Structure 1
Amino acid sequence: MKLTLPRFGSQEVSFSQDSIIEFPNGLPGFEDCKRFKLLHRDDGHEPRVFWLQSIDEPEVVFSITDPSQLKLAYNVTLSDDEASTLHVGENDDICLAVMLSHPLEESGEVAMDKIAALTRSPIAINITKRRAIQKSLVNPELTIHG
């Protein structure tokens, strides 16, 4: 498959159908975006930030990272419904990611020099089955490592 990325200077990327991550329920506010491709800068270094690029609406892209990059560790339990949606099997690899955003200044302008992590709504990805959900946490159990 090929996809043109309007948010990245109309760059075109090729990828295989089996690398698509499916969000069966979409994402809050983006319910029609169900298929995503995980991208990262290929600069020879271990990627720290990834882009969750919508295939259904190419102008939609989210920055995500492994919580450990922010020195965070979650203690998360999936409900039966969430595990079912993810098709969790005995030997599946499940990982968590957090979305990143630029907060707004008091003026309403985007603060490009600051980054906020959406810690109350991590993304759970079944790497094995390529399925994902965004999990809403009321009181997240987070550990911060110094």
Structure 2
Amino acid sequence: MKLKTKFHGDIEVNQDEVITFEQGIPGFEDEREFVILPFEDTPFSVMQSVTTSGLAFVTADPFTYFPGYDFTLPESVVQGLAIKEQQDVFVQVIVTLRDELKESTANLQAPVIINKVKSLGKQVVLNDNEYTSRHLIFTLQPEERGV
């Protein structure tokens, strides 16, 4: 299918690349279909709405920047996403890129959980006071992140 995107222009994607968010994502409840696209030559991705070309979120693998990041999914989320095996799960966090890259932040309080097998996703707000919506990404040196 043809897709108009915010960062990639017009592209072609396969229907099996579309991830369904049955309840949308917080603040965008009507947006229920997204694709994950690489973001140029960066370690980031773009979570692009299928229906709204101007709606896209920069995302990242949180474990790359925060190796100690750890949480437990509520059983209701595991069931809702039909997760059977841990390796079926793909985790992303929404990133706010700043002009000064070192000031960019990641939302560790609300990770995006994707069941790769079922192409189902949900942004989960964690009830954990350890994580906030604005963790500085570049607090560790590359060698400390294993890069």
In the superposition, the TM-score normalised over structure 1's length comes to: 0.79
Alpha-carbon contact 1:96-1:124 (below 8 Å) kept: yes
Structure 1 residues 96 and 140, CA gap change in structure 2 (3 angstroms):
farther
Within the alignment, does 1:86 sit opposite 2:81 as a pair? yes
Q: Which residue of 2 aligns with 1:12?
A: 10
Structure 1 residues 42 and 101, CA gap change in structure 2 (3 angstroms):
closer
Structure 1 residues 75 and 8, CA gap change in structure 2 (3 angstroms):
closer
Partner Cα distance (1:24, 1:88) in 2:
15
Within the alignment, does 1:65 sit opposite 2:60 as a pair? yes
Partner Cα distance (2:130, 2:12) in 1:
38
Deviation at residue 88 of structure 1 after TM alignment? 1.2
Q: What SS does the aligned partner of 2:36 have?
A: strand
Alpha-carbon contact 1:92-1:126 (below 8 Å) kept: no
Alpha-carbon contact 2:63-2:69 (below 8 Å) kept: no
Partner Cα distance (1:23, 1:41) in 2:
21
Unpaired segments ≥5 residues, structure 1: 103-110
Q: What SS does the aligned partner of 1:68 have?
A: helix
% same residue: 28
Deviation at residue 72 of structure 1 after TM alignment? 3.4
Q: What SS does the aligned partner of 1:138 have?
A: coil
Q: Which residue of 1 aligns with 2:25?
A: 27
Unpaired segments ≥5 residues, structure 2: 132-138
Deviation at residue 95 of structure 1 after TM alignment? 2.2
Which among 115, 118, 122 is matched to residue 126 of structure 1?
115
- Over the aligned positions, Cα root-mean-square deviation in angstroms equals 2.3
Alpha-carbon contact 2:18-2:34 (below 8 Å) kept: yes
Q: What SS does the aligned partner of 1:84 have?
A: helix
Number of aligned positions between the proteins: 132
